[in-house]
Structure 1
């Protein structure tokens, strides 16, 4: 049993906007308290984009055990339900080894799936999804919304006519199950951390500092080979609606590779998209995730150490 488990804390959860320094904090906690770093970032699960998603470097991965990073192929439409199942099996193996899980990332939906459970929407079979998307590939979004209005008027009223991704999701579930996606949303499966004693920290930096770090990091990722990484992804000709194809920076860099944007413009687009995402992350946690302790980056280590020590 580790010191973290001995004090009653079954897992440490660290969230925060991108470029807030939360990954370094997770490694620090894992090294000191006998833990393993477990990913909670919906883009860092993909094998295709180590650099562009700012996954821990190979050197950082030698500093502590890392789980659920880069374990999913980009062609897979990975979901919060599948993530929760992967975490559940990871938690079991870590518990058997006496290792404290330190779960870190910026995907609020992943943390909600772990702590509050998730809707019982069945996965859409790949064959059904592929056939459906091939049929509607050339259909405009407003026409898809009209189709949803005919098949599931209640759900169509809840979705914006221009929200292609959610419209497609609703139609795919209808196609696969014959039921409205809304009919599943009231049914929930418990999350693997539901009811357990947890230390939940939200690293909340000054906004301007996050913006500065995002811009600098994106330029550094380009220098480290992010463009070549996206070029390899582009060659796979994957469905543009797949999550990996919508990772911050990917659309702009693909547009550059297609000759539609100068590299400087693609970089600026990636930086802008990432800054907007960081703002949404902060808003999400402030309004959706009750019971988290917001901490400044420079105080996070002291707060974590004190909280863990007090629970011994």
Structure 2
């Protein structure tokens, strides 16, 4: 690795091989893998969110995995606050942070391309949650459109969780969510002193990987994980509840969906999600990001 590098950032669609590359680089450079995925932060969903394996956890240190209660919301602002503490710790130790994940907003937050999101007081959060339960999402979407038409245009009128999040952040921060995401935040990582990689797998290969990975998840005990999750975290309606495969396998366990249909729907949703991620990275990440196939990235480990 030439020059002074203060961090490595690895983004890419789900199932593209990010974790493998991160571990290889952490071993080579004495680094620590830091999670930058909005679902892998949650406890109780190791299998369905494809968190690092026990073998990988034993090879190199990992941070910010499974540390959030699934019954709570977790935002880019919360991630930034946690990442700041991790970076301070790793810099004291002289360890190289290797951020790895598929949540683009987390990377933008690290690079100062988002304003720092305000912490939302419980009374504000409870007020909007109560209104959502009482009125439903569509009236609240109308209110959001009046104060933040840009954000409202991006959200479905039925997406109650994201609508409420935008409203509560706007109230707590005194500005619309779109304005807060305008790029005036303080960077935790200088992009000129970071190596930034986006994995770009072949589309057909990625579709096959996604299907094969879901089979591996089932063999590893995904159904038992869903049973345990719903027992331990009944009523989890925050972001964790959106983990792909959770609703489908839960429907199968409750007798509301056949096994094959549940698996097919989960694989299809994962492929759709991967396509959205690829589109987002293509449009949101600039030329400073090195775009590599997973195979090329692994072969270039010695140069990174």
Q: Same fold by TM (over 0.5)?
A: yes
Task: Label 1:295 to 1:174 Cα distance change in 2 as closer, same or farther (>3 A).
Answer: closer
**TM-superposed deviation, 1:44:** 0.8
Within the candidate set 137, 144, 152, 2:147 is matched to: 152
**TM-superposed deviation, 1:185:** 4.1
Q: Does the 8 Å contact 1:46/1:70 carry over to 2? A: yes
**TM-superposed deviation, 1:267:** 1.3
Q: Does the 8 Å contact 2:128/2:164 carry over to 1? A: no
**TM-superposed deviation, 1:238:** 2.5
Q: Does the 8 Å contact 1:148/1:155 carry over to 2? A: no
Pairing 1:1-312 to 2, within 5 Å after superposition: 7-148=3-144, 152=147, 154=149, 158=153, 159-173=155-169, 176=172, 180-182=176-178, 184-186=180-182, 188-235=184-231, 236-240=233-237, 242-290=238-286, 291-306=288-303, 308=304
Q: Does the 8 Å contact 2:200/2:292 carry over to 1? A: yes
TM-score, with structure 2 as normaliser: 0.89
Cα deviation digits, residues 83-121 of structure 1 (max 9, x gap): 112112111211121211111111111111111342244
**TM-superposed deviation, 1:196:** 4.6
Distance 1:194 1:60 in 2: 28
Task: Label 1:155 to 1:109 Cα distance change in 2 as closer, same or farther (>3 A).
Answer: closer
> What stretches of structure 2 of length at least 5 have no aligned partner?
none
**TM-superposed deviation, 1:176:** 4.7
Distance 1:22 1:178 in 2: 37
